[in-house]
Amino acid sequence: MDTNLSASAKRVQDALNSFGVDCRVKELGESTRTAVDAANAVGCEVGQIVKSLVFRGKESGKAVFVVASGANMVNEKALAVLIGEKIERATPDFVREQTGYAIGGVSPVGHPTPLTTFIDEDLLGYQELWAAAGTPNAVFALTPEQLCHITSGQVAHVKK
């Protein structure tokens, strides 16, 4: 176990441990802020990167969390149909408030409270995925099954 993880990366590792999944957070020397950066840093396809995106219900103000393939754009109209209200992109402050992380390092786990979560069905087509771990240079590998387990998300068709 890496005891030299930053506080945010350690929070992700602790959350992973609490789910009983065998995933290890790695802090890299290069940025993993974008899906392309992350894929280059870990040596995988862009589609294997788990993009963690936060939207906000226009009427309810509730956070909607989407984990999408790094190769895909989210179809916001389809997402609005799934949640039953129009959505808007979240502000950086709202993202931090809801997830506990800054944009560029939002992890699919370790949020202050559970979020309504949707999982891009395309992620299930890979054997290995890579997700952000709390900072713009921290990541962890996981399987699609582990992603479904740790997020309790609903698998859906969310891509454009």
Structural domain includes residue 39? yes
The reported pLDDT for the residue numbered 30 is: 85
Mean pLDDT of the chain: 94
> Which domain, by its residues, includes 142?
7-156
Report how far apart, in Å, the C-alpha atoms of 13 and of each of 35, 76, 116, 152, 156 are: 21, 30, 21, 17, 26
Structural domain includes residue 68? yes
pLDDT digits (tens, 9 = 90+) for 91-121: 999 999 999 999 989 999 999 999 999 999 9
Residues near 9 by Cβ (< 8 Å), separated by ≥ 6? 25, 27, 133, 134, 135, 138
Report how far apart, in Å, the C-alpha atoms of 123 and of each of 31, 96, 116, 128 are: 22, 24, 18, 9
- Residue 66: give its domain's CATH number: 3.90.960.10
Q: Would you place residue 1 in the very low, low, confident or very high pLDDT band (cuts 50, 70, 90)?
A: very low
Structural domain includes residue 103? yes
Structural domain includes residue 53? yes
pLDDT digits (tens, 9 = 90+) for 122-134: 999 999 999 999 9
Report how far apart, in Å, the C-alpha atoms of 114 and of each of 42, 77, 99, 111 are: 28, 23, 9, 7
Structural domain includes residue 2? no
Q: Answer whether residue 2 shows pLDDT above 60.
A: no
Instruction: Count the domains in the chain.
Output: 1
The reported pLDDT for the residue numbered 70 is: 95
Percent of the chain with pLDDT over 70: 98
- How far is residue 82's CA from residue 156's CA, in Å, rounded to a whole number? 9
pLDDT digits (tens, 9 = 90+) for 35-86: 898 899 999 999 999 999 999 999 999 999 999 999 999 999 999 999 999 9
Q: Would you place residue 3 in the very low, low, confident or very high pLDDT band (cuts 50, 70, 90)?
A: low
Read off the pTM: 0.93
